[in-house]
Amino acid sequence: MTARSIAAAVASGARSAVSVLDEHLARVGEREDEIHAFNLVTEDKARGQAEAVDAAVTAGEPVGPLAGVPLALKDNMCTRGIPTTCSSKILEGWRPPYDATVVSRLADAGAVFVGKTNLDEFAMGSSTENSAFGPTRNPLDTGRVPGGSSGGSAAAVAANFAPLAIGSDTGGSIRQPAAFCGIVGMKPTYGAVSRYGLIAFGSSLDQVGPFAANVADAAALFDIIAGHDPLDSTSIAGFTPNAVDHLDRGVEGLRVGVVRELCGGAGSVKGLSADVLARTNEAIEALAAAGATVEEVSVPSTTLGLSAYYIVAPAEASSHLARYDGVRYGLRVDAPTTGEMNAATRTTGFGAEVKRRIMLGTYALSAGYYDAFYGKALKVRTMMLRDFASVYENFDVLITPTAPTTAFPFGERSGDPMMMYVNDVCTIPSNLTGHPGISVPFGVGDDGLPVGVQVLAPALQDGLTFQVAAVLEAAADGGGAS
């Protein structure tokens, strides 16, 4: 059942929220040891929420649009009284004293929280191999990664542990795992969804967004979590989400740009596999057949996005992670002096990838190197904003692959950070610009694993990404994808 059909059945009394929860928990019991999608299964919390929904239905009281729908939360979203670890030893066992705004909105909508999902530590990674609590496996092929950093959330939906999940996207961490796991994942416009209660990786890049098995469920989830929040200073005032209203509008007359540098054209980035490009071209043909005007377009600065991102994001991470000092909260490793305690705590508490990015970011911000690295990266970011603004004068949306390849085997890239970072080459541009993007499954690669196609749109045109994704989904389901 889809999330929408579950909510309708529960609200009407045709199904109980408790029975829906039991079905999903049974699936968790069958495969969780194999997949490790969760850091914590919150069965008691979920059962209490489900019972409350059923009691409201019995009493004839109104229930929310997600009444009784099981949902998985990425373990970097604060949940009051429930451990929130960011998959890091430095926060192991920490129980936040408050809920993230997104968590509160979902609870008010009647969602049932089945657990906190695994991720690359502090959301730094593209494979969910960097978790302090062990990797997550792709439910479609457990010898492959589910993508990252929101791999646990994507795996939870793909394994049908929950029809919906929440992730965060700093450089592609929702869209890339969605592509690898064959589901829908969307990064909203920066500021469209509150970041209050999201534990920061890179505050100018982070955004919370939905995972779902289909476009309509993802749109419904987006409409619930989006909207202004006074607790988040970067939240956009006056933004009204209306993604569901866009689902049936089609693409007749839309102008679709195919980004040459990310689709194998002249000057294209390296590492794009032939099968992924083939599926992307089929998606482009499907949009043209549905009435869209499709043309190739050049966005030259996209080839610089990877380099700029891996200066900006580590620099922000270096600043944010300075707070984990062994004094205020989280892990503390005692030592004779405060300085030694701080060093011992951070050495023990942080994993290798987090340490790598802290050192990279600290170096980029240091005296004598700031202008050469961080300052130059910000100039590239500005140039990218101008390039996309120019392109969007002539196009409504842009199309690219979501990831250069299908899901890769465990260990294949974990020893080579640069090889791993290339996974984000197609998704990073929209994080640097703050624009929305969505990944929708469109066929499979030569290995039989899913290929994701990405739809990009200008800021605040989040509904438009769902509009185009719905057409692609219909084409894929109708046999338009190989």
Identify the structural domains of the chain with CATH numbers, from first to last: 3-244 (3.90.1300.10)
Nearest to 269 by CA among 308, 310, 300: 300
Instruction: Provide the strand spans (E) within 423-465.
Output: 437-444, 450-456
- Sequence-separated (6 or more) residues with CB below 8 Å from residue 441: 178, 179, 182, 183, 184, 450, 451, 452, 453, 473, 476, 481
pTM over 0.95: yes
Residue 415: what pLDDT?
84
Quote the CA–CA distance of 329 and 106 in Å, as a whole number.
Answer: 27
Reduce the DSSP state of residue 109 to 3 states and report it: coil
- Find the helix packing angle between 215-225 and 101-108, rounded to 10°: 110
Quote the CA–CA distance of 19 and 279 in Å, as a whole number.
Answer: 39
Structure tokens at 176: 């890339």
The number of helix segments (H) and strand segments (E) in the chain equals 15, 11
Reduce the DSSP state of residue 186 to 3 states and report it: strand
Reduce the DSSP state of residue 434 to 3 states and report it: coil
Residues 45, 46, 51, 57, CA torsion sign? positive
Measure the CA dihedral 178/125/465/389, to 10°: -160
Which residues belong to the active site? 74, 149, 173
Residue 165: what pLDDT?
99
Structure tokens at 468: 């185009």
**pLDDT string in tens for the chain (482-residue length):** 999 999 999 999 999 999 999 999 999 999 999 999 999 999 999 999 999 999 999 999 999 999 999 999 999 999 999 999 999 999 988 999 999 999 999 999 999 999 999 999 999 999 999 999 999 999 999 999 999 999 999 999 999 999 999 999 999 999 999 999 999 999 999 999 999 999 999 999 999 999 999 999 999 999 999 999 999 999 999 999 999 999 999 999 999 999 999 999 888 898 899 999 999 999 999 999 999 999 999 999 999 999 999 999 999 999 999 999 998 888 999 999 999 999 999 999 999 999 999 999 999 999 889 999 999 999 999 999 999 999 999 999 999 999 999 999 999 998 888 888 989 999 999 999 999 999 999 999 999 999 999 999 999 999 999 999 999 999 998 877 87
Q: Which helix (DSSP H) or strand (DSSP E) does residue 149 occupy?
A: none
Task: Please give the single-letter amino acid code of residue 50.
Answer: A
Cα–Cα–Cα angle for 154, 433, 250, rounded to 5 degrees? 65
Q: Where are the alpha helices (DSSP H) in 422-461?
A: 428-433
Burial letters 243-271, b for 16+ CB under 10 A, else e: bbebbeebbeebbbbbbbbbbbeeebbee
At residue 36, φ and ψ (nearest 5 deg) are 55, 55
Count of CB atoms situated within 10 Å of the CB of 45: 18
Nearest to 277 by CA among 255, 259, 292: 259
Nearest to 175 by CA among 152, 209, 142, 203: 209
The sheet that has 70-74: what strands, in order across it? 38-41, 112-117, 70-74, 164-168, 208-212, 184-187, 437-444, 450-456, 397-401, 255-259, 293-297
Furthest-apart CA pair in the chain: how many Å?
Answer: 71
Quote the CA–CA distance of 73 and 217 in Å, as a whole number.
Answer: 16
Query: In terms of C-beta distances under 8 Å and separation of at least 24 residues, what long-range contacts does 28-31 make, across chains too?
Result: 28/114, 28/115, 28/161, 31/139, 31/159, 31/161
